[in-house]
Amino acid sequence: MDGDRQRIDRWLWHARVVKTRELAKTLVEGGHVRVDRERETKAGAAIKPGQVLTVTLPGRVRVLKVVGFVERRGSAEVAATTYEDLSPPPPPRETRVETAPVGEREDGAGRPTKRDRRALDRLREGEE
């Protein structure tokens, strides 16, 4: 391995973007990684410091600028030294107002009686 280059799948694994090198290979070959805005499909492609990787993961996109390399996969603190995170902040979470569903019984209320059942049926008929 050259000191100024590293395989893209190996770097993704060392930087702890993915859990295994096989997952990194699958991610790259599946077209989910871009190097300087160009799609990369070869897991053995070399990357250099200064290049920007855009990695599409389930549920989010990470934009990472390659700062350096490590010879072995280490702790998360060591992995964080290999990149600069340029990812956009996640969108704000929606605030939900909790409302009790119609016809739901409290815990421990036991089985509904015949009278309760008829009341539930009347509620359901009103919804339709």
In whole angstroms, how far apart are CA 44 and each of 21, 30, 55, 109?
A: 11, 14, 16, 62
Higher pLDDT, 1 or 59: 59
Pick from 31, 65, 61, 40: nearest CA to 51: 65
State residue 117's pLDDT score.
86
Integer Cα distance of 11 and 58 in angstroms = 19
State residue 105's pLDDT score.
66
Third-level CATH fold of 6-85: 3.10.290
State residue 1's pLDDT score.
47
State residue 89's pLDDT score.
84
**pTM summary value:** 0.68
Domain boundaries, the chain: 6-85
Integer Cα distance of 69 and 14 in angstroms = 8
State residue 2's pLDDT score.
55
Mean of pLDDT values over 42-49: 95
